[in-house]
Amino acid sequence: MRSKIQVPPEKRELDSSFEQGFGIDFMVSGSTTGSKNIVMGYTLMPPGSRNQAHVHNNVEVIWYLLSGHNTHLSGSEETNDFKSTDCDPGTFGYVGKGEIHVGINRSDTDFGEVIFCYAGVNEKDNAGTVWVDPPSVVVDHLAQRGITLDSLDMEAKS
């Protein structure tokens, strides 16, 4: 396999269907680069956004906060050891297999940007992602801030 360079940020094509309310570009995978064991991508968190609590049962996840001021909630239902961590640019995070986690953009005016990696699979569909919260939690969180999904302007940042 040869090295491959992905598209520059200004040409990202964000997928808003994988995590409602967020824009994600799965830039490295088996289908994009021929990767055998990793998926790597970029997440754009609109102002005031929160994603659904979820787990990835087949992968470990690492992430790096490029910009924004986010809160990361994580833990296990088995051990009931949930924690909340406020994160600022430069923060690295690790999420173990099967660990519930949530990302919340603490700012109602600024976007957050995260680079992430799923270790152990080469396509997002193999990560074993299970959504714990219903999609309505995303809409409800935004509504408390006077924001709607339709008003999120993902193109303004991408």
Domain total in the chain: 1
Q: What are the tens digits of pLDDT across the range 52-70?
A: 999 999 999 999 999 999 9
pLDDT at 138: 92
Residues 6+ apart with CB under 8 A from 32: 4, 6, 26
Q: In 12-119, where do the E strands start and end?
A: 23-28, 38-45, 54-56, 60-67, 70-75, 83-87, 92-95, 100-105, 112-119
Confidence of residue 157 (pLDDT cuts 50, 70, 90): low
Is 7 domain-assigned?
no
Is 65 domain-assigned?
yes
Is 6 domain-assigned?
no
Q: Are strands 70-75 and 54-56 parallel, antiparallel or unpaired?
A: unpaired
Is 1 domain-assigned?
no
Position 158 pLDDT exceeds 80: no
Is 66 domain-assigned?
yes
46, 111 contact by CB (below 8 A): yes
List the domain range (segments joined by +) for residue 129.
Answer: 12-147
Q: Which two tokens stand for residue 57?
A: 């049962």
Is 134 domain-assigned?
yes
pLDDT at 156: 63
pLDDT at 8: 67
Is 36 domain-assigned?
yes
